[in-house]
Amino acid sequence: MIVHDRLYIGGELVAPAGTGTIDVINPFTEEVAGTVPDATNADVDRAVAAARHTFDTTDWSTRPASERAEILTKASALISGRMDELADLIATEMGSPKGWGIFGQVLAPTMILDYYAGLGQEYEFEKTRAGLFGPVVVRREPIGVAAAIVPWNVPMFENVIKIAPAIIAGCTVVLKTAPETPLDAYVLHEILTEAGLPPGVLNIIPGGREVGAYLVTHPDVDKVTFTGSSAAGMKIAAAAGGLLRPVTLELGGKSAAIILEGSDLDAIIPQIVDAGVMNNGQACVAQTRILAPQGMYDQVLEAVTEKVAALVVGDPLDPTTQIGPLVAARQRERVLGLIDQGKNEGARITTGGGRPEQEKGWFVDPTVFGDVENSMTIAQEEIFGPVLSVLPYSDEANAIKQANDSLYGLCGTVWGTDAAHATDVARQIKTGTIGVNHFAMAFSAPFGGYKQSGLGRELGPEGMEAYLETKSISLDPAAG
């Protein structure tokens, strides 16, 4: 069992202010895999003070971005050298299958670090424009102390997606981890320290909602970035709005995968299913609504059902496992409740719908629903489990209408033999990210959502610019 009895604050492991602890439960064995301190408001005060001190009194924010970029490059290499260890750790924390986790949980964070390291070497923090009376320097400066609150589903990915651009921008960070998955953050801090990150740039606070709420409204925080549920994001937006505090919110999703007439199902169905149930379905970008032409509906439903029924369920540390347990008992009960609701509203289960035969673990059978209408709860609410819905559409206009008939607008895909036409369809979907004939996130491009999927963007230069203030300096007209 992994035991941490201290907190990373100001570059040191310090004793927490309180005596509470958080048990990290392995969702496969249902046994305690580790413990960490349960941070208090007093710990938040110390962490924010450390971040504030480093930002205000050291050269961190004024160093050349290229120097900060070198830290990310070294950290990426160090993570790569511990890839198996980290994939195992995250699988133990939250049940992510190692076969997927090697890429999604560990390799992807190194790719984000590498991208921002490259951006730090080339980004222009000052540009000169022509002004009314003479040249104007448009300058980008670090915003200050960032409060970062991350979820449990892809913890290291989410840690890095917030920390890396903040580092390049020259900010300092107080990271509040999810109580389910704090262990990998300790390793990440060790790695960043070894890579040369100065004391106080990153401070880590494991804790629950109360600590997160206190951090969001702390008077010495300059910027808030949050990933999680839309309901929680609305509360954070309201709190930040009352303080006129900049906030980035990456929230829920209910993404549609649109299959166009004439698509090669043998080629695309395996990709769509993988994009729907990745990470045990615990992904905000999961393609969980599959829209099929009426004339191909039965064929699509049969192909999706066959693929999902064949998924291997089991120990997340077994590299052959495709579906592991959900993160917690409460999550399993929530997913099973939504499956029951789907049946009660008239949808038809074609595979799954219950619990697999496992001695222990918070498992749900990979499940497919047919005869789904877009107004049903299972087509509108983010389930966050291995549950897919297949919906028919009458024509492309109807497919676009159904895809857009959602409170969310985070992600999506369009699949067709004519890539140019599929791209035209993609342009009409109200979503922040959409792929044509593949599912992927481009780390050089902005990521975020429309509607209740959030505010602002992460990744790309836009993700780093969210940690910058903009200043215009009108130069002396007489200076020539």
Please identify every residue annotated as catalytic: 250, 284
What's the count of helices (H) and strands (E) in the chain, helices before strands?
16, 23
Q: Name the packing angle between helices 65-80 and 183-194 (round to 10°).
A: 120
- The Cα–Cα gap between 391 and 141 comes to 48
Residue 305's CB is within 10 A of a number of other CB atoms, namely 22
Residue 351: C-alpha distances to residues 30, 331, 468 (Å): 26, 20, 49
Give the angle subtended at the CA of 148 by the CAs of 363 and 230, to the nearest 5°.
55
Note the Cα 434 to chain centre separation in Å.
16
- The Cα–Cα gap between 367 and 353 comes to 5
Count Cα neighbours of 79 within 13 Å in the Cβ-side half-sphere.
31
- The Cα–Cα gap between 286 and 383 comes to 10
Question: Judging by DSSP bridges, how do beta strands 7-9 and 2-3 pair with one another?
Answer: unpaired
- The Cα–Cα gap between 386 and 200 comes to 40
Sequence-ordered alpha helix ranges (H) in 35-107:
41-57, 65-80, 83-94, 98-101
- The Cα–Cα gap between 61 and 469 comes to 13
- The Cα–Cα gap between 337 and 221 comes to 39
- The Cα–Cα gap between 146 and 467 comes to 8
Residue the block writes with tokens 């940690």: 467
SS3 call for 390: strand
- The Cα–Cα gap between 180 and 25 comes to 7
